[in-house]
Amino acid sequence: EGEIDTLGGLVFMLAGRVPVRGEVVQHPAGVEFEVVDADPRRIKRIRVRVPSLAGE
């Protein structure tokens, strides 16, 4: 796989395209990325949700 430099690049790679505003993209590790703002060419803002660890 290629090198990823930004969270937007990671979300783009996971989705296979530029996701639309409001879309949630999930990482295999369980992390969720919600696209807060985007235009047709790039992701501008992302909200990241990390699952809580059991027992903490």
pTM of the predicted protein model: 0.83
Burial state string for 33-50 with b = 16 or more CB within 10 A and e = fewer than 16 = bbbeebeeeebeebeeee
Judged against a pLDDT cut of 60, whether residue 55 lies above it is answered with: no
| Residue 9, burial from CB neighbour count under 10 angstroms (0-12, 13-18, 19+) | middle
Domain spans in the chain, listed from the N-terminal domain onward: 7-49
Q: CA 10 to CA 39: how far, in whole Å?
A: 16
* pLDDT, tens digit, 9 for 90 and up, residues 3-50: 899 999 999 999 999 999 999 999 999 999 999 999 999 999 999 999
Q: Compute and round to an integer the Cα radius of gyration of the chain.
A: 12
- Which pair of structure tokens corresponds to residue 36? 């807060």
